[in-house]
Amino acid sequence: MLAFEAAGDNGGSAIAQYNLYATAATADGESTELYAIVSSYDAASMEFTLDNTVETSFISGSKYRFRLSATNTIGEGELSNSVTIALAENALQPAAPTRDLTRSRQSAMYITWTAVVPADGLVVDGYKLNMTRLGTGESFCVYDGSENNQRLFYNVTGLSAGERYAFSVSSVNFNGESGPSDELIVVSCTPPDEFPKPFFISSTQSSVTIGWLPPSDMGGCNLLTYELQINDGLGGTSFLGIDSVALSGRPYLTQHTVTAEATADPATAGGPLVSGGTYKVKLLAYNEVGHTESTNYLDVVVASVPEPPPSAPSQNFAFTDEGKIRVEFGTLESATYNGGSQILGYDLWRDDGAGGDLGSLYGSAAAFQSNLALTFTDFDVMKGTTYRYMYRARNINGWGDFSEVGYLFAASVPARPQAPSLVSVDDGEISLQLFTSEDTGGNDLTAYELWMDAGDINTAYS
């Protein structure tokens, strides 16, 4: 549609008619041939819609230059200045732009859009990207690509992390700029990142409590929720989300107790965790724009730490003397004591024999070495000194409590006593003088034994 203004000066005589001239224009709008009157124009209206079904010489998508003249009774005046118009719709409105999160940063958003179809065959010259700061309402064009129709993206920088922005894109052709697309409203942030793997806190034979630290990189906006995923406990590599009700919308959580395993259907709670089963657990942290997985999964065994041993360490006197103590302790491998998982090692503690604090005889290595022996020969002892010993066991989930304290000592058997001597004897009674061992071996004597034969040569003692 063309609109005209009436001639500003009719020359003193009323305007009798107008003539509309048109000529094909080159790409730069310059005419290549003489103007011709557009015959379908009624010579009087101040508006005219050119219809190329009437003016069949006009081709859709081509550009034309129009000029107007006015005629009064004296004659036809000069032609107006020209206007070049493409015979086509205005540029079409693009679809709403999108954000490429993989290329976005907390202070920069990589906005892409889709090319529009040329209107009536008129080439699209380019696009403009407008941005509105939702916090302030400030709106402006951040990218004017009206002469570059090949570029369908723009990296908007200088944004404030966590702020919300609205983006729209418009296309431009020769006739002008389309209306803005629907808005893309986004917050300037990226998915969380640097999310350490969860860690073990505790477990029982039917539950596991894991903990985690929030991602060290929140992406610039707040966390929305965590998702806990677990495998089947049988070595499977597929993870399924569980306990979403407990976790959803609670970004402040830092630990969770799992009692049910995953099933094939994430929406269905699984059965109870299998005691002794090894599960892989990982977490996903979500913010508004995406999520990240923990850097690795945590292997957890559904087991408690071992039970405290039912008895204190004891000593094997057959291998104990004044210079060493053979310490023995009971196994905790049975299901009653192992907490539901294999015992990985024992740790034996002892004091200094003077009532001091107890310390590990295995040292820090006990935490990673498989000390499964149930005996320990302690050579760092002094004859006659009583030491306090206790022990504990660990399984995959850590150390159990200590046993009761056992009081063990370095001692040997008593020294050989002096032979009995006769005090008196008569026909029916013998009185003997007995002598205790001069060296008790480092331990109090508990008993004596007197042996006597049957009174004949080579008879047995009793």
Partner 1 sequence: MTVAADGLTAGLFYSFQFRSQNQVGYSELSAITRIGLGAEPPAIGSLVANLTACGPSFVAMTWDAISAPLQLPVLGYFVQMIDPVTDEWEDVLDASTDPDVLSHTQYGAMTGESYTFRVFAVNFNGRSTAVGNNVEILTCGLPLHFAQPTYVTSSRTSISIEWAPPFDDGGC
Q: What is the dihedral of CA 336, 341, 343, 349, to 10 degrees?
A: -70
Q: Does 124 bind partner 1 (CB under 8 A)?
A: no
How far, CA to CA in Å, does 197 sit from each of 126, 131, 212, 223, 283? 47, 38, 7, 17, 7
Q: Choose which of 111, 116, 321, 382 interacts with partner 1 (CB under 8 A).
A: 321
Provide, rounded to whole angstroms, the least separation between the CB of residue 378 and partner 1. Answer: 15
- Is the CB of 365 or the CB of 425 nearer to partner 1? 425
Query: Which H helix or E strand runs over 274?
Result: none
Nearest CB to partner 1, comparing residues 267 and 318: 318
- Cβ closer to partner 1: 148 or 433? 433
Tell me if 455 contacts partner 1 by CB under 8 A: yes
Residue 245 φ then ψ, to 5°: -65, -40
Q: How far is the CB of 359 from partner 1 (least distance, A)?
A: 25
Contact 192, 286 (CB under 8 A): yes
Work out whether 450 is an interface residue with partner 1 (CB under 8 A): yes
Q: Which residue shows structure tokens 């080159």?
A: 26
We find the least distance from the C-beta atom of residue 427 to partner 1, in angstroms, to be 4
Q: Which amino acid is at 74?
A: I
Cβ proximity to partner 1: between 75 and 428 the closer is 428
Closer by beta carbon to partner 1, 1 or else 416: 416
Sites for partner 1 among residues 55-94 (CB under 8 A):
none
Cβ proximity to partner 1: between 237 and 424 the closer is 424
Q: Pick from 257, 277, 301: which is nearest to 396 by CA?
A: 301
**How far apart are CB 330 and partner 1 at their closest, in Å?**
19
Of the residues 170, 320, 341, 371, which one makes contact with partner 1 according to CB under 8 A: 320
Separation between Cα atoms, residue 333 and residue 335, nearest integer Å = 6
Residue among 141 and 452 whose Cβ is closer to partner 1: 452
Backbone phi and psi for residue 101, each to the nearest 5 degrees, phi listed first:
-65, -30
Binding mask 210-229 toward partner 1 (x if CB under 8 A, else -) reads --------------------
Residue holding tokens 């991602």? 215
Q: Classify the C-alpha dihedral 282-250-220-166 as positive or negative.
A: positive
Stretch that binds partner 1, among 289-297, 350-358, 391-399, 453-461 (CB under 8 A): 453-461
Question: Are the C-beta atoms of residues 165 and 189 closer than 8 Å to each other?
Answer: no
Contact 273, 261 (CB under 8 A): yes
What H or E segment, with its residue span, contains residue 220?
A: none
By beta-carbon proximity to partner 1, the closer residue of 252 and 451 is 451
* HSE value, Cβ hemisphere, 13 Å, CA-based, for 270: 25
Distances, alpha carbon 82 to alpha carbons 52, 78, 237, in Å: 20, 12, 72
Contact (CB, 8 A) for 284 and 184: no
Closest to partner 1 by CB, 34 vs 318, is 318
As a whole number of angstroms, the distance between CA 438 and CA 440 comes to 6
Using the rule CB under 8 A, give the single segment among 134-142, 269-277, 283-291, 318-326 that binds partner 1.
318-326
Smallest gap from Cβ 203 to partner 1, in A, equals 41
Query: Residues touching partner 1: how many (CB under 8 A)?
Result: 49
Restricting to residues 387-446, name those near partner 1 by CB under 8 A. 409, 411-437, 440-441, 443-446
CB of 376 to partner 1, least distance (A): 17
Nearer to partner 1 (CB atom), residue 199 or residue 317: 317
Smallest separation (angstroms) from partner 1 to the CB of 339:
34
How many CA atoms, within 13 angstroms, populate the side-chain half-sphere of residue 217? 15
User: Which 152-181 positions form the footprint of partner 1 (CB under 8 A)?
Assistant: none
Interacting residues toward partner 1 by CB under 8 A: 317-318, 320-321, 409, 411-437, 440-441, 443-456, 461
